[in-house]
Amino acid sequence: MKKYFAFIILTSFYSNAQVSIDFEPFSLGDNQESFLLKEIQFELDEVPTFLIVECVTGSINPFNEYQSLINNRLIKGNIEINHSGSYFTYFDSEAKNYTIVNAQYKDENDQWQTSGKLVYYVPNSFLLKGKNIITFLNEDNDQRYMDDYLVNKITLHKISRKPLDLYKDYRCNNN
């Protein structure tokens, strides 16, 4: 009985596990060092109920609308910024009346770090068992010869729910 219980716990933990994707950090934009689009491949053992793709990004501009493709289907990025204690850097672009804003903070070594994340919520109908490809797209053509954003880390959060789960099981906390 104990082995069966341990198996259930491990299975439920694995199905809702976080998975970091192994890739070389990259920048998107029209700078010489940047990509206009970048494809990242990841594998899924099973298709979850939905998938959260969390990207740690430098130079995230809250004025932009971030879109990507997953398996050639369009998904919209959501910007997640912790505003408490954040600094915002501002500079003008070549386009008139267009300001670029980056969410940042200074760490204990007095170095600038990003406080923004780009998050995609992906429904299960967009996903495949096995190989999946997320394509990051260039966002801002008015900001010439610059990086639109950098992607330093990608974490997948697989959310799998069973048909017998209750409504309260979908909440993040038990309050």
First to last CA, the chain: 32
Cα 109 to Cα 112: distance, rounded to the nearest angstrom: 9
Does 3 fall in a domain?
A: no
The tokens of 175 are what?
Answer: 């309050």
- Full pLDDT tens readout for the chain, 175 residues: 554 444 444 444 444 567 888 888 887 776 777 777 899 999 999 999 889 999 988 777 777 788 999 999 999 999 887 666 666 767 666 655 566 667 777 778 887 777 778 999 999 999 999 999 999 987 765 555 555 678 889 999 998 887 777 666 555 554 4
Number of structural domains found in the chain: 1
Q: What CATH number did the domain enclosing 32 receive? A: 2.60.120
Does 6 fall in a domain?
A: no
Contact between 119 and 78 (Cβ < 8 Å): yes
Tell me how many degrees the CA angle 119-120-121 measures, rounded to the nearest 5.
125
- Domain containing 140: what range? 18-161
Cα 6 to Cα 46: distance, rounded to the nearest angstrom: 21
Does 167 fall in a domain?
A: no
